[in-house]
């Protein structure tokens, strides 16, 4: 196991090099290296040479499917959080579409406790907005908020809260406990049977089109609702340039709207569907190169607040089938930082300070998650990630800690490597491997 | 030629002409008293049909049998597939049986493509969802060439032929394959349909688009009517079958707008009185019966060329 005292030597933080001293669960010292060194001494501490490595506050994922309870064949809290640790995450928000649905205090507490027991990363359950994700009546949002899991983010993810009145009520109701509604923006009527972004590829491949307007219409409506009732709205997995434009407009009005984008929507396009391999089938669907370019710009300028993986594990048989039969979703925890490196840092759109902001600080703030997303500083919880940006680009292996292998990045050469992850001073990953 | 025939886009102009010319040669043999050729003796062709389509299945079956192949018909109904077996497991079963070619008809777009990744033999797409039906396009091309240009056209394409395809392009595998193949062969293709039944990005296809059938007919050498499903009405693709028929159906009055030499095609099965009037379907301009006959010879040509059968008398490659 790992010692509780660490001296991390020579890590890159923002523009400088620093030594970081961890004692127990806290960062007890952080000092820039000058000609005479940092002055921090390693008495009783295990030393870790971090020269050339970037230190980031531990990554926070606002959007993870851990599948437990119910689909333990695809993922468990144990395996999903192990994948998170390997990807540099110290906290994940577990989506509510489990079986049973996380729509009661009992289920969210169960998931929360499973996360504590696993120990690889903090698991913050997301509660369902409506009972059974059925879109008919509100789940007991207050009970979930008051439970040991202290739920603050509510989402019917996978389903859209399509009923405008129900959405209005949900937004209003969660104000009482500083909650946020995370909307999966998908007009159900406009996407009946939809398979692939509606455009040149869907027409050519004969796959039912998924129009951008099915997302944008809901985004626009919900921004207006959030403004009307003065409640916090978060837009899940924004995938179109049109949604970005609406969110930019809503933010310019000062409305309480935040948004996330997935790594896959920052890198992949619908052209990949050409071989009908359902590993590229995802909800919302992969869009066009123009959408990808706009999503990158929006993440860079802060219109989109954060990256969230929408890690969606599925067993092999759910993907080894005809496109229309296959499940929607891709894994993403283990590759997220490398994808962001390639899509945002290598392109010059974001520096590492920006990556820390979009993958740790802001998602923790949106998720109302105490103890995470705090810039590395003396007295802060020792949640941090060490990343080697100079590691030679290597093809992604589909086999990682996740139980599932439905990564669209398999075989793709991505830069960088997550070297170590610390959760409250305990190393959950070291040298790119799990510690326990 | 490639190992599989999944999309009309897989065919170069030379590939397409080779299939057309081979079909014509095989058609001449079909006129002999003994129709059967020994070329695919000992080879196994599996007809894997997940959708009911008697006409396409018997066409492929007749084609394979005339080439002396062993034919196995595998219908999904009442089989292990109905009990939940996956396409992959079905494919592995066929693989174990040593299928040299698998002809697949399936309700999901891309099913033929997926199958090709799981079997060693050649895959022939006999219609996958709303994607493609390449042998239908090939038989249509043979029919057009022979009817408009006469016999002895070996090596020649359809350059300059004006083809208007009418109806539910959005859901039509026949339309997709025909747009690709006929444009490869030099024809000028126009799609005529209500905007709801055209793909959103149809502007990127190698054809032109019109919402007005009447203005296209005088400029058409070929008009191809697509089957329209009545249930599209319930999804509001058009207000009623009668309105569809009035605006896009081919009746005798509308047929009179066609040039003297123009032909009327339909891939079948027809909805008489909806997209095509009985008078039109039964008129001398109609090629519907020839299309069926040409279907067998085109499918013989495809199987022969994909499986590399023994040399065919009179066909130079």
**What's the gap between Cα A163 and its chain centre?**
26
Q: Which of residues 272-291 of B touch A (CB under 8 A)?
A: none
The catalytic residues of B are 55-56, 83, 105, 133
Quick check: B312 pLDDT over 60?
no
Determine the Cα–Cα distance for residues B159 and B16; give it in Å rounded to an integer: 13
Class of domain B8-133+292-307: alpha beta
pLDDT reported for residue B1: 76
* A160 inside 8 A of chain B by CB: no
Per-residue pLDDT, averaged over B294-301, amounts to 96
Partner-chain residue, chosen from B132, B200, B201, that has the shortest CB–CB distance to A206: B132
Boundaries of every domain in chain B: 8-133+292-307, 134-288
Residues B87, A199: C-beta atoms closer than 8 Å = no
Kindly list the residues from chain A whose CB atom is less than 8 angstroms away from the CB atom of residue B111.
322
pLDDT reported for residue A41: 81
Kindly list the residues from chain B whose CB atom is less than 8 angstroms away from the CB atom of residue A195.
109
Quick check: B311 pLDDT over 90?
no
Contact call for residues A139 and A129 (beta carbons, < 8 A)? yes
Torsion sign over Cα A425, A426, A428, A431? positive
| DSSP designation for A135 | S
pTM: 0.94
pLDDT reported for residue B82: 63
Quick check: B316 pLDDT over 50?
no
The fold adopted by the segment(s) A58-366 is TIM Barrel (3.20.20)
* B219 inside 8 A of chain A by CB: no
Kindly list the residues from chain B whose CB atom is less than 8 angstroms away from the CB atom of residue A198.
200-201
Per-residue pLDDT, averaged over B15-26, amounts to 96
**Considering only CA atoms, which of A37, A112, A31 is closest in space to residue A77?**
A112
Boundaries of every domain in chain A: 5-55+379-434, 58-366
Quick check: B317 pLDDT over 60?
no
Q: What is the pLDDT of chain B when averaged over all its residues?
A: 92
Residue B248 vs residues A158, B226, B242: alpha-carbon distances, Å? 40, 10, 10
pLDDT reported for residue A436: 78
* B204 inside 8 A of chain A by CB: yes
Of A310, A351, A357, A388, which residue is the catalytic one? Answer: A310
pLDDT reported for residue B234: 81
Same fold, B8-133+292-307 and B134-288: yes
- Mean pLDDT per block of 10 residues along chain A (436 residues) reads 80 93 95 82 89 98 97 97 98 98 98 95 98 98 98 97 98 98 98 98 98 98 98 98 98 98 98 98 98 98 98 97 96 98 98 98 97 96 98 92 97 97 97 93
ipTM of the complex: 0.91
User: CATH code for B134-288?
Assistant: 3.40.50.1370
Per-residue pLDDT, averaged over B111-127, amounts to 96
pLDDT reported for residue A407: 98
pLDDT reported for residue A1: 45
Task: Name the token pair of A388.
Answer: 């080697």
pLDDT reported for residue B225: 98
Residues B108, A317: C-beta atoms closer than 8 Å = no
* A290 inside 8 A of chain B by CB: no
* A200 inside 8 A of chain B by CB: yes
Pick the CATH number of A5-55+379-434 from 3.40.1190.20, 2.40.37.10, 2.30.40.10, 3.40.225.10: 2.30.40.10
Per-residue pLDDT, averaged over B34-57, amounts to 91
Residue B295's pLDDT band (cuts 50, 70, 90): very high
Partner-chain residue, chosen from A203, A205, A321, that has the shortest CB–CB distance to B202: A203
How do residues B176-202 score in pLDDT, each as one tens digit?
999 999 999 999 999 999 999 999 999
* A197 inside 8 A of chain B by CB: no
Per DSSP, what are the bridge partners of residue A306?
Answer: A260
């Amino acid at each position: 196991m790992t010692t509780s005292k660490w001296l991390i030597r020579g890590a890159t933080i923002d523009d400088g090099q620093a030594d970081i001293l961890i004692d127990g669960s806290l960062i007890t010292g952080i000092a820039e290296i000058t000609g005479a060194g940092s002055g921090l001494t390693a008495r009783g501490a295990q030393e870790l040479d971090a020269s050339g490595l970037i230190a980031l506050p531990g990554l926070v994922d606002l959007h993870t499917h851990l599948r437990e309870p119910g689909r333990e064949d695809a993922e468990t809290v144990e395996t999903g959080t192990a994948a998170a640790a390997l990807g540099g995450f110290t906290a994940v928000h577990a989506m509510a579409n489990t079986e049973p649905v996380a729509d009661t205090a009992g289920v969210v507490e169960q998931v929360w406790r499973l996360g504590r027991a696993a120990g690889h990363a903090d698991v913050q359950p997301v509660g369902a907005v409506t009972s059974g994700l059925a879109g008919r009546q509100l789940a007991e949002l207050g009970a979930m908020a008051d439970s040991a899991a202290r739920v603050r983010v509510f989402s019917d993810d996978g389903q859209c809260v399509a009923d405008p009145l129900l959405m209005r009520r949900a937004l209003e109701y969660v104000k009482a406990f500083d909650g946020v509604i995370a909307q999966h923006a998908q007009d159900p009527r406009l996407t009946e049977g939809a398979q692939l972004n509606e455009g040149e590829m869907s027409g050519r491949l004969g796959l039912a089109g998924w129009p951008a307007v099915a997302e944008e219409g809901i985004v626009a409506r919900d921004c207006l609702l959030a403004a009307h009732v003065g409640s916090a709205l978060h837009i899940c997995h924004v995938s179109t340039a049109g949604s970005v434009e609406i969110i930019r407009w809503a933010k310019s009005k000062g409305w309480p709207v935040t948004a996330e984008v997935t790594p896959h929507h920052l890198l992949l396009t619908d052209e990949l569907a050409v071989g009908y391999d359902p590993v590229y089938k995802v909800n919302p669907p992969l869009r066009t190169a123009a959408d990808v370019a706009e999503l990158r710009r929006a993440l860079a300028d802060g219109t989109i607040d954060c990256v969230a993986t929408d890690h969606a594990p599925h067993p092999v048989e759910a993907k080894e089938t005809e496109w229309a039969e296959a499940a929607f979703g891709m894994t993403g925890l283990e590759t997220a930082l490398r994808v962001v490196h390639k899509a945002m840092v290598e392109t010059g759109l974001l520096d590492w300070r920006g990556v820390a902001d979009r993958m740790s600080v802001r998602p923790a703030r949106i998720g109302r998650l105490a103890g995470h997303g705090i810039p590395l500083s003396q007295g802060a919880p020792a949640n941090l990630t060490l990343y080697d940006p100079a590691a030679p680009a290597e093809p992604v292996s589909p086999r990682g800690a996740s139980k599932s292998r439905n990564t669209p990045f398999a075989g793709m050469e991505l830069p960088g490597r997550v070297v170590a992850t610390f959760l409250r001073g305990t190393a959950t990953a070291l040298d790119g491997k799990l510690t326990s | 030629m490639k190992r599989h025939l999944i999309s009309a886009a897989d065919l170069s102009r030379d590939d397409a002409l080779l299939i057309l010319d081979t079909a014509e040669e095989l058609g001449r043999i079909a006129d002999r008293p003994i129709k059967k050729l020994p070329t695919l003796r000992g080879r196994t062709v599996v007809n894997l049909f997940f959708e009911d389509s008697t006409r396409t299945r018997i066409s492929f079956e007749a084609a394979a049998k005339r080439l002396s192949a062993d034919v196995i018909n595998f219908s999904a109904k009442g089989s292990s597939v109905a009990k939940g077996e996956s396409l992959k497991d079905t494919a592995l079963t066929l693989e174990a049986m040593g299928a040299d070619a698998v002809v697949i008809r399936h309700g999901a777009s891309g099913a033929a493509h997926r199958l090709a990744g799981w079997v060693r033999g050649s895959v022939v797409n006999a219609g996958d969802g709303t994607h493609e039906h390449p042998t239908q396009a090939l038989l249509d091309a043979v029919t057009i060439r022979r009817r408009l240009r006469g016999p002895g056209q070996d090596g020649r394409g359809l350059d300059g032929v004006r083809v208007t395809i009418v109806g539910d392009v959005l859901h039509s595998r026949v339309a997709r394959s025909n747009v690709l193949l006929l444009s490869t062969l030099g024809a000028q293709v126009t799609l005529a349909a209500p905007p709801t039944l055209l793909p959103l990005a149809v502007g990127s296809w190698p054809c032109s688009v019109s919402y007005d059938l009447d203005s296209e007919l005088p400029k058409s050498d070929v008009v191809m009517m697509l089957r329209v499903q009545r249930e599209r009405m319930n999804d509001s693709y058009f207000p009623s079958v009668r309105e569809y028929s009035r605006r896009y159906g081919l009746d005798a009055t509308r047929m009179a707008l066609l040039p003297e030499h123009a032909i009327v095609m339909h891939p079948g099965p027809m909805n008489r009185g909806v997209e095509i009037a009985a008078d039109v379907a039964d008129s001398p301009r109609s090629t519907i019966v020839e299309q069926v006959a040409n279907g067998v010879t085109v499918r013989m040509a495809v199987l022969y060329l994909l499986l590399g059968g023994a040399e065919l008398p009179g066909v130079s490659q």
